[in-house]
Each structure stands twice: as C-alpha cells, then as structure tokens.
Amino acid sequence: MDYDDENEQDEASPGRGSGDKAPRRRRRSEGVRIIGAEEAARALEEGQAAGRRPDDAPRFGDVPERPSGPPPAQRFPLPGSADPTTPVLRPQSPGQAETPPLQHWTEPPTGEVPRILATDGGGEVEGDDIDAWAALPNRAPRWRDQDSDWADTDFDDVPLADDEAPMGVLDANRTEHSDLFSFDDAEADLALDPKPETARRAPVTTSIRTRQPAAPRSDLAPPGPAAAGRDMRVAVGAGVAMAFVALVLFKAGPKPAMFLVTAVVTVAAAELYHVFIRAGYRPATLLGLTATIGLLVGAYSEGEAAVPLVLFLTTVFSFLWYLLRVVRARPTVNVAVTLLGFCWVGVLGSFAALLLRLPDRHGVAFLLGAVIATAAHDIGGLFFGSQMGSRPLLPEISPNKTVEGLVGGMLSAVFASVLLVGVVPGISPWTPGKALALGLVVAVVAPIGDLCQSMIKRDLGVKDMGSLIPGHGGVLDRFDALLFVLPATYYLVKLLDLA
C-alpha cells in the first residue's frame, strides 16, 4: 500500500476571465493505494516497512514474569551506598515466623488475612497488655440510671492506657456543683458592678431561634439617683404638657376623651409590636392594631359584649394570618406574640372606653380619678426611690426599683386619691371614702403593671419601648401601670355601684 500524493493542481479560478492564468492551490488530501508483492519486498529491503514480529517477542497485554527472591527492604529513592542488584531482607522481630511469600499481583486473591500478634509458639509478645482486656468479655453489662449506681464503680479494675487526670464522672474529686453553666451568672455579676462603663454598654438582642437576649445594660445601674441620661426638666415639662392636654379633652366630654384614649392605646400597641419585631419576632402587626382600634370603638358603643367577640375574631384571624402565609414565619411563637400585644394593650386599654360610656359624664370622672391616682403613684415612687432608695425590690427584673420607692408610690397613690379625687369639686361621684378604696386598689395594682413591663423589656433586651415622649421614653413606658389600673377601676365602680 502507498499513499496517493496527488494533491496540487493548477486550475483557472472560476471568478476570473478566461485569459486570467492565476493558479489556485488545491487542498492537500490523503489516500490509500494497494501495492504488489514485488513493491512490498523492495520496501522491506530499503527499510521503509517492518515485517512480522517473531513469536517470542513481547506483545501488548502480556503479563510479566513473577520476580524471584525476597523483596528488598530499601525504600526509593535508594541511597548511594545501596546496591540495587542485591536484595536486603527486612529485620524480623524475635520469635516472629518467617514472612510467607506474597502472591504476584496478577494472581487471584486467596482470602487470607494477617494475624494479630502472631507468634511461633502461640504465646504473647513481650510488652503486650492483652491480660488487661482478657476479663472484659466475662463481665455482664450494667445499667446505670441513678446516682447510687455509680457509687461502686469498677473502673479502677481496668488499667487505663493514659496517665492524664480523670475528667467528668471519672473524676473522684468532682463536686456536686458544676461550673459548666457558670456564665449564666454573668448578668448578676454585672448588676453588682458599680463601674459606670459597665452600665453604659449597648444592649444585646438576638433572634428567638438562638438564645434568650441579654438584659439591657442601661438597667444595671445601682439603685439610687435617677439615671444620668434622663433630663428631669424635659421630663417634667413633657408631663405637664400631657396633663394639660388630657384635662382639656376630659373637660370637653366623653367623645374627645375617647379620641385621646384611642390615640394613646393605639400608639402604645404599635410601640410594643415594633419592639417585638426588633427582638426577632414576626407578629401580625396590622391585624393587632386593627383589632385594638376595633375593640376600643366596640367597647365604647356596645359595652362589655364587644370584648369577647373581638377577642375571638382576633384569635381566629391570627391563626389564619400564618396559615395563609401572609407572613412567612414560625406560627406558634408569632401567634402568641400577636395575641400578647393585643391582650396586654388592646384588651386592658379597652376598659377606658368602658368607663367613658357610663352615663351622666360619670365615666370621665372615673377615668380621671384612675389617671390621677396612677400618676401620683409613679411620681411618688420616682421621688422616694431616688432620694431614699437603698434596698432593691427585684434586681433581676428591674435593678432601679427599690423597696422605699414602692412604699412611697403606694402612699402617694392613697393620699392623692383621698386629697384630690375625693375633695376637688367636679370629680364626683368620688367621695372621700370611695376615693380611699380607689387609692388602695391603685397602690396594689399599679406596681404590678410597672414590674410586668420591666420584665418584658428585660427579656427583650431593650431600655424603653419607644422615644415619642421626651424624658419618658415611649407611650407604653408612661402608661404601663395605668393599663392594669383601668380594669381594676372599672370593676371597683361596678362593685361599689357608683355608676
């Protein structure tokens, strides 16, 4: 055979005229040509072709012969002093049998496995600790689920391989108290730290899926004078302005007072839901605010019958809110948070509307009496606590509140109810005796509302619920105690038949 090399010709370009003699090079091509015996013999003589390989020549796929002799002990690359042609046997341990010959890699496997600690005479290898484990198979398993089961431990019978000090249940010096969770006491240590830089550290808030948020650092100041961050002049000025607006609207009648109540309760609910969102929750804020406004309007127009109806509808629609994926979040915790905000602010605040709907403008007098007594409790608690407070009331809930402040606030609520609510004309039908009952109720209920809000703020890791009122924080910060006082006042009015 030969290759046809006819690959170049000169042709006239089809794009040129007949007189144009410019050649065009053809593309090179290959072909096969069959040759005869004489030509093939001539190619073999000239060395242009190779003949058939002999039968004893190695071919592709042939298996090499198995090497003879023991394997060398040298490792590659061989050192300069080693002779690659001279095999070096591996050193054998004393008493070890001669290494059996290995199969060639081309032979099928035999299924044999190496022996563990094999000896010629079946004895033990020197230095082996097989006796230490010989008794283990003879021991029955023991079930230990009580503290007394570990009193007669038999771990000492088994020698341990390491010499390190025992840890955990193996430590004989281990006491009842474990310091595994000692970091939980960090907040208590910080509460006792008098350094101002510790109290000014920023709050740490985390998502509910990781861990509980840390306590607000601003609440860790020791009880005593008011925090340096609060401007008392601004706080007093804001308080006087709010009191003036409230008195004007209360003087105007139940409907203007109802407008003020709706605005205050709605803003307080919005602050609470906003704090929930900052803490990592996903409440149905729009549903909660709508239910709060609807409950206030319904309570003012329809009375107590509106409360269970709106509460039922809010509960059902809270479940539907997450069932229909209006908000894609964990339904269990967020339904609970939504209902918490509605019941805390909406339901408790709706008792102000129930008071205002009482006839003959008596509802305005009842609501005004509750507001005056609650304000006196807050002012008295702040004054006595800042001037004489030395004993913390509940440091794990609110370190700034003291026993002296609590007693001062309770006395202030009682005296303000008797001296103002029961004496000032125009706040009838409060009489001195009934005003004293109001003061006692406020003295008991108002601290509960204040402490409950401090508990929620500490759990969420915030200092204030908002910053709408200068010097006071948020609306909910100012009216937290009043939310608990409103239902107590309403049922006190019903009990004394003042309406």
The more confident residue out of 289 and 497 is 289
Name the token pair of 446.
Answer: 């108002």
Encode pLDDT of 248-297 as tens digits: 998 888 999 999 999 999 999 999 999 999 988 999 999 999 999 999 99
The residue with greater pLDDT, 469 or 137, is 469
Weakest mean pLDDT among 182-191, 263-272, 345-354: 182-191
Q: Which two tokens stand for residue 185?
A: 């006491």
pLDDT value at residue 481: 92
Q: Name which of 399, 318, 367, 332 is nearest 486 in CA terms.
A: 367
pLDDT band at 8 (very low <50, low <70, confident <90, very high): very low
Q: Buried b / exposed e across 125-147, counting CB within 10 Å, b at 16+?
A: eeeeeeeeeeeeeeeeeeeeeee
Angle at 144 between CA 143 and CA 145, to 5 degrees: 120
Q: What pLDDT was estimated at residue 193?
A: 46
Beta-bridge mates of residue 394:
398
Count CB neighbours of 48 within 10 A: 10
What is residue 132's predicted lDDT score, i.e. its pLDDT? 59
Q: What's the pLDDT score for residue 423?
A: 61
What pLDDT is stored for residue 385 in this prediction? 87
Query: How distant, in Å, are the alpha carbons of 225, 377, 393 from that of 403?
Result: 14, 14, 5
Angle between helices 285-302 and 348-356 (to 10 degrees): 30
Contacts of 428 (CB under 8 A, 6+ apart): 362, 365
The pLDDT of residue 431: 76
Cα–Cα distances in Å, from 430 out to 2, 114, 369, 436, 499?
129, 101, 8, 9, 11
CA 252/CA 296 separation, integer angstroms: 19
What percent of the chain is predicted at pLDDT more than 70? 63
| Pairwise pLDDT comparison (467 vs 357), residue with the higher score | 357
- The predicted pLDDT at position 432 comes to 77
CA distance 86 to 92: 19
Query: Bigger pLDDT: 120 or 33?
Result: 33
pLDDT tens digits for range 409-418: 999 999 988 8
- Amino acid letter, residue 47: G
Query: Rounded to the nearest 5 degrees, what angle is found at the Cα of 317, between the Cα atoms of 314 and 320?
Result: 155
CB neighbourhood size of 303 (10 A): 13
CB 268 within 8 A of CB 479: yes
Q: What average pLDDT does the segment 79-93 reach?
A: 64
Residue 393: which H helix or E strand, with range?
strand 392-394
Q: Where are the alpha helices (DSSP H) in 417-479?
A: 432-460, 475-478
Banded model confidence at residue 100, pLDDT cuts 50, 70, 90 = low
Residue 13's pLDDT band (cuts 50, 70, 90): very low
State residue 80's pLDDT score: 73
Cis? peptide before 429, omega within 30° of 0? yes
The better pLDDT of the pair 372, 78 is held by: 372
Q: Which of 6-15, 104-113, 436-445, 454-463 has the lowest mean pLDDT?
A: 6-15
Where residue 336 falls among pLDDT bands split at 50, 70, 90? Answer: very high
For the chain, domain boundaries? 254-357, 361-499
- To the nearest whole number, what is the mean pLDDT of the chain? 75
Q: Tokens for 458?
A: 């500490």
User: How many whole angstroms separate alpha carbon 119 and alpha carbon 133?
Assistant: 19
CA distance 346 to 298: 12
Residue pLDDT, tens place only, 430-440: 777 888 899 99
pLDDT recorded at residue 66: 75
What is the SS3 assignment for 486? Answer: helix
As a whole number of angstroms, the distance between CA 499 and CA 489 comes to 12
* pLDDT digits 0-9 by tens, 298-326: 999 999 999 999 999 999 999 999 999 99
**Token pair belonging to 302:** 């329809």
Residue 190 clears pLDDT 60, i.e. is over it: no
405 touches 384 (CB < 8 A): yes
Selected residue with higher pLDDT from 213 and 449: 449
Which pLDDT value is given to residue 430?
73
How confident is the model at residue 54, as a pLDDT?
Answer: 79
Is omega for the bond preceding 77 within 30 degrees of 0, making it cis? yes
CA atoms 123, 128, 134, 137: torsion sign: negative
